[in-house]
Structure 1
Amino acid sequence: MFKYLLKVEGGYSNDKNDSGGKTKYGITEKEARNHGYRGDMRNLSLDFAKEIYKKDYYKKNQLDKVKNDKIALSICDFSVNAGNHGVKKAQETLNKINGTNLKVDGVLGEKTLEALNKTNPENFLKEYHNSQRRYYDSIAHGKNKVFLKGWQNRVSTKENTIKNMNNNRQNSQIFTR
């Protein structure tokens, strides 16, 4: 999973149009500082970034308890890119395709986890990725418009990655060792 995130997030960036400011491996300077990093963002280590991903996106969202790695990767990816919208869209998707009545609060709690582990992965992922695309369309105005093609490509890259995954939990192991 970490290798995938590095692939889509890339290295150091300081795009004037990106509200995240300076980032490395997709980790914003603010986020790195909140975790105690004090150096230049260009020097942020892979290990430091990995720990932030593990703590703030993977463990915090209980993705280690999601039985399907494809679903776990998809939610982690969207959450890295869009904060709690990744979980909110997962909750909305579950409500839509399964008729559940989950609270759409962006918190992956026990009820959301149970619903994720019972859902049909293919149906969930198809609708979830469409929801992710619609979300990007909805925020692609003003200075964000320049990022829309990249965001849409991110979803396509994720779909292609997921097609080539098996589901034996080895993809998530990088965060659990």
Structure 2
Amino acid sequence: MQNNDRRFEEIFKYLLKVEGGYSNDKNDSGGKTKYGITEREARSHGYKGDMRNLSLDFAKKIYEEDYYKKNQLDKVENDKIALSICDFSVNSGSYGVRKAQETLNKINGTNLKVDGVLGEKTLEALNEINPETFLKEYHNSQRKYYNSIAYGKNKVFLKGWQNRVSTKENTIRNMNTVKNNSQSFTR
């Protein structure tokens, strides 16, 4: 595991790549977003301005507090797993952790409570699992989740959501292994 500050910086760079800038798509139930942060979410953090003017630092703070630290991803030993769960959580809320718990139960035959809370038992299981085995199944689960919600107005987003998983897999594939066998990002 690399330094958590550096790890989060790299995850944040990745999130910016897949989330993009300002958007106000009529089909997106999130409404106005910038850097993937919805107006509702920004307002809940005290932001009062026009969403087009949301600063990168403000978005970064939300990602770090609401997705990275709240989900205890700073305690996940493997950087690839931390990035993957953070990404899915950003795009689906508590389903990111719920699907991780379901994946762990499926692979390990365990009986973790599937509650969307990354607690002590889930953390322990994540830190013991073979990362490649977990990520392959987890990414398949993410694809299935997107397929399950791609109806009505959401149908238009399916290709982009599936591309998001492929982009994540490519990012993870290009991460380097360091001496202590934990993963780190390439520059």
Deviation at 1:113, TM superposition (A): 0.4
Q: Is 1:127 equivalent to 2:137 in the alignment? A: yes
Amino acid at match of 1:158: K
1:12 paired residue number: 22
User: How is 1:87-126 mapped onto 2 (pairs within 5 angstroms)?
Assistant: 87-126=97-136
1:51 paired residue number: 61
- Asked whether the 8 Å contact 2:76–2:123 carries over to 1, the reply is yes
State TM-score, norm by structure 2.
0.90
Amino acid at match of 1:47: D
Helix, strand or coil at the partner of 1:107: coil
1:164 paired residue number: 174
State TM-score, norm by structure 1.
0.95
For residues 122 and 110 of structure 2, the distance between their equivalents in structure 1, rounded to whole angstroms, comes to: 10
CA RMSD of aligned residues (A): 0.9
Identity over aligned residues, as a percent?
Answer: 86
Note the residue ranges of structure 1 that are not aligned, 5 or more in a row: 172-177
Deviation at 1:82, TM superposition (A): 0.4
For residues 105 and 23 of structure 1, the distance between their equivalents in structure 2, rounded to whole angstroms, comes to: 27
Amino acid at match of 2:138: Y
Count of aligned residue pairs for this structure pair: 171
After superposition, what is the alpha-carbon deviation per residue over 1:47-100, rounded to whole angstroms, capped at 9, x for unaligned?
Answer: 000000000000000000000000000000000000000000000000000111
2:88 paired residue number: 78
For residues 131 and 155 of structure 2, the distance between their equivalents in structure 1, rounded to whole angstroms, comes to: 31
For residues 80 and 152 of structure 1, the distance between their equivalents in structure 2, rounded to whole angstroms, comes to: 15
Note the residue ranges of structure 2 that are not aligned, 5 or more in a row: 1-10
Q: Is 1:140 equivalent to 2:168 in the alignment? A: no
For residues 84 and 16 of structure 1, the distance between their equivalents in structure 2, rounded to whole angstroms, comes to: 24
Runs ≥4 in structure 1, deviation > 4 angstroms?
167-171
Deviation at 1:169, TM superposition (A): 6.0
Amino acid at match of 1:113: L
For residues 51 and 17 of structure 1, the distance between their equivalents in structure 2, rounded to whole angstroms, comes to: 27
The partner residue of 1:67 within 53, 77, 82 is 77
Deviation at 1:170, TM superposition (A): 5.2
Helix, strand or coil at the partner of 2:40: helix
